[in-house]
Amino acid sequence: MNVRPGVVAGDDGSPDAATAGPRRRPMTADQYVQGVLSGDRTLLARAVTLIESNAAAHQELAQEVLTALLPRRQASIRVGITGVPGAGKSTFIEALGGQLTAAGHKVAVLAVDPSSSVTGGSILGDKTRMEKLAADPGAFIRPSPTGGTLGGVARKTRESIVLFEAAGYDVILVETVGVGQSEIQVRSMVDFFLLMLLAGAGDELQGIKKGVVEIADAIVINKADGAGRLAALAARSEFERVLHYLRPNTPGWTTVAHACSALEGEGVADIWQVVQDFAAATRQSGAFADRRAEQEECWLEELVYEGLRTQFAHHTGVAGMRGQLAKQVARGEILATAAARRLLDIFSRPPVSPK
């Protein structure tokens, strides 16, 4: 991410005041807030950069900005999209995004990619693969936050969603690849989760990862064009059989497999219709709001336990004993219950402070 000298950083996530040129003055929380609400893309980009920053001072400011914007969020639908590299997610997102902006929507394209690094970048949210959408004034593409754990990346993405919704983006697409638990994280921050697969040679489906099928609200079998069409339809049929044995991810909703050819633009509108039907049905039944409330509460729980684990791990007494006890437990030398007791006992005592 290069800052071109002399140019105010644009919407490509350039670093903020601390490292940019002399024209950049630090912004106040209120300036960020007003900037986001105004719809200004540059200011929105700077706000997202602020959220993503790991610097302690920025985090305080970020929390202030987010707290102010929380009640200003507008209605939206959040859609998660996963699938192996090569499944055609970028092409699909570009096609879908274009149709949506043409219909007047404002579309944010985010990504959760824990393998993304400051130097290496990410394979997701790659504007070079979504060139048309990247130039679309109704769309905003943001690469994955970098650096650190999946939990950290997911947290920053969740917080960014607050900014985009306050800025009036009514469709939030969150892309991820099948790396570790990233699908589970994305699932927990979206309303609708879409799994993109490729048809294989026969009727088999490429790209199914254990645990992902069960959390999808729709399966899309992509590249169902030309010679691939028959294979895609056979694969879809096969897939319906599998889905029959799995409980639907969202109560009251049947997960269905759809064939599509994003490159040809075929089937993309149908899939969006599925998302809209889902939104309508779940809004009516209350499941939509219930799920969002549950996601927020689960996130709170997650943050609390993460914090507890951190406090626990950093407790001097615990840190000294833990590794040794874990090894003894693994070897069957001491009972897990006994080891846990000892550690919790050490933790519950206030640390001895030097007088």
From residue 205, give the alpha-carbon distance in Å to each of 86, 239, 353: 13, 8, 60
Contact between 131 and a copy of itself by CB under 8 A: the answer reads no
Phi-psi map region of 83: left, alpha, beta (phi>0 left; psi -120 to 50 alpha) = left
Indicate which single residue of 104, 120, 332, 354 sits in contact with a copy of itself (rule: CB under 8 A): 332
Contact between 109 and a copy of itself by CB under 8 A: the answer reads no
Cβ atoms 217, 250 nearer than 8 A: yes
Stretch that binds a copy of itself, among 142-150, 171-179, 255-263, 288-296 (CB under 8 A): 288-296
Q: Which of 86, 132, 87 is nearest to 109 (CA)?
A: 132
Contact between 263 and a copy of itself by CB under 8 A: the answer reads no
Contact between 40 and a copy of itself by CB under 8 A: the answer reads no
Cβ atoms 203, 238 nearer than 8 A: yes
Q: By rule CB under 8 A, what string of x and - marks binding of each residue 65-104 to a copy of itself?
A: -xx--xx-x-------------------------------
Burial 312-349 (b: 16+ CB within 10 A, else e): beebeebeeebeebeeebeeeeeeeeebeebbeebeee
DSSP label of 123:
S
Indicate which single residue of 57, 297, 319, 320 sits in contact with a copy of itself (rule: CB under 8 A): 297
- In the complex, what is the shortest distance from the CB of residue 104 to a copy of itself, in angstroms, rounded to a whole number? 25
**Residue linked to tokens 């927990």:** 188
* 150-166 and 287-314 helices, crossing angle to 10°: 140
Stretch that binds a copy of itself, among 103-111, 207-215, 270-278, 279-287 (CB under 8 A): 207-215
- In the complex, what is the shortest distance from the CB of residue 146 to a copy of itself, in angstroms, rounded to a whole number? 19
Rank residues 253 and 272 by Cβ distance to a copy of itself and give the closer one.
Answer: 253
SS3 (DSSP) at 13? coil
- In the complex, what is the shortest distance from the CB of residue 99 to a copy of itself, in angstroms, rounded to a whole number? 29
Residue 172 sits at φ, ψ, to 5 deg, of -115, 115
Contact between 326 and a copy of itself by CB under 8 A: the answer reads yes
Stretch that binds a copy of itself, among 23-31, 117-125, 273-281, 344-352 (CB under 8 A): 344-352
Indicate which single residue of 247, 352, 354, 355 sits in contact with a copy of itself (rule: CB under 8 A): 247
Indicate which single residue of 3, 20, 84, 208 sits in contact with a copy of itself (rule: CB under 8 A): 208
Indicate which single residue of 6, 210, 316, 352 sits in contact with a copy of itself (rule: CB under 8 A): 210
Contact between 319 and a copy of itself by CB under 8 A: the answer reads no
Q: Which of 275, 219, 278, 214 is nearest to 249 (CA)?
A: 214
Which stretches of the chain are DSSP H helices? 29-38, 41-52, 56-69, 89-102, 131-134, 150-166, 182-187, 228-244, 268-285, 287-314, 316-330, 336-348
Rank residues 28 and 310 by Cβ distance to a copy of itself and give the closer one.
Answer: 310
Binders of a copy of itself in range 136-175 (CB under 8 A): 155, 159, 162
Residue 221 sits at φ, ψ, to 5 deg, of -100, 110
Handedness of CA 224, 230, 234, 237 (dihedral sign): positive
Footprint on this chain of a copy of itself (rule: CB under 8 A): 63, 66-67, 70-71, 73, 155, 159, 162, 204-205, 208-211, 213-214, 238, 241-242, 244-247, 292-294, 296-297, 299-300, 303-305, 307-309, 311-312, 325-326, 329-341, 343-344, 347-348, 350
